[in-house]
Amino acid sequence: MTDTADSSMNIHEILDHLPHRYPFVLIDRVVSMELGKEITALKNVTINEPFFPGHFPYHPVMPGVLIVEAMAQAAAVLSFKTMNLKPNEESVYYFAGIDSARFKKPVSPGDQIVLNVKIDRVLKGIWKYIGVAKVDGVVVAEASMMCILKNI
């Protein structure tokens, strides 16, 4: 299924398609999306992030695992939209695996991360993605991720 019509999403639409809530929502806007293929989303990094006081007080750096989490959240939005589903209290979208994660450059307050996530394949309910995060056109992180939608 592919569709590019009305492919951008504001934060209200994102929250409608993502089970996460503050302080763990890590995408602010969807710039573009092609259902069944890929999504490009933004994360605006501010000094007000709850992790910066401890990571690190004198040189704030966004934890790499949270950059990967932001890519996974973009993947979740893409998957929910592709399946024409919305998250609910009866299901959870879990990480099933992270491979080949690489962190190439620190991300600091004031940066805007552009997250591009592509569906690599879907097999037996397991979705595999390739994610790349960039700041100012420079790759800061990349990873292969697997996720699964489970009923609870």
Q: What is the pTM of this model?
A: 0.94
Query: Which 8-state DSSP code applies to residue 25?
Result: -
Q: Report all structural domains of the chain as residue ranges with CATH numbers, in order of start.
A: 11-151 (3.10.129.10)
- The pLDDT of 134-146, averaged and rounded, is 98
Q: Is a pLDDT exceeding 60 seen at residue 121? A: yes
pLDDT at residue number 18 = 93
CA distance 112 to 126: 30
CA distance 29 to 74: 9
Mean pLDDT across the chain, nearest whole number?
94
Q: Per DSSP, what are the bridge partners of residue 127?
A: 122, 147
Q: Report yes or no: 14 and 77 within 8 Å, Cβ to Cβ.
A: yes
- The pLDDT of 113-140, averaged and rounded, is 97
Banded pLDDT at 132 (limits 50, 70, 90): very high
In this predicted model, what pLDDT tens digit does every residue of 54-69 receive, in sequence order? 999 999 999 999 999 9
In this predicted model, what pLDDT tens digit does every residue of 77-96 receive, in sequence order? 999 999 999 999 888 889 99
Q: Which residues are catalytic?
A: 55
Measured in degrees and rounded to the nearest 5, phi and psi for residue 59 equal: -155, 80
Q: Is a pLDDT exceeding 80 seen at residue 2? A: no
Q: Report yes or no: 148 and 126 within 8 Å, Cβ to Cβ.
A: yes
pLDDT at residue number 91 = 84
pLDDT at residue number 6 = 61
Q: Is a pLDDT exceeding 90 seen at residue 98? A: yes
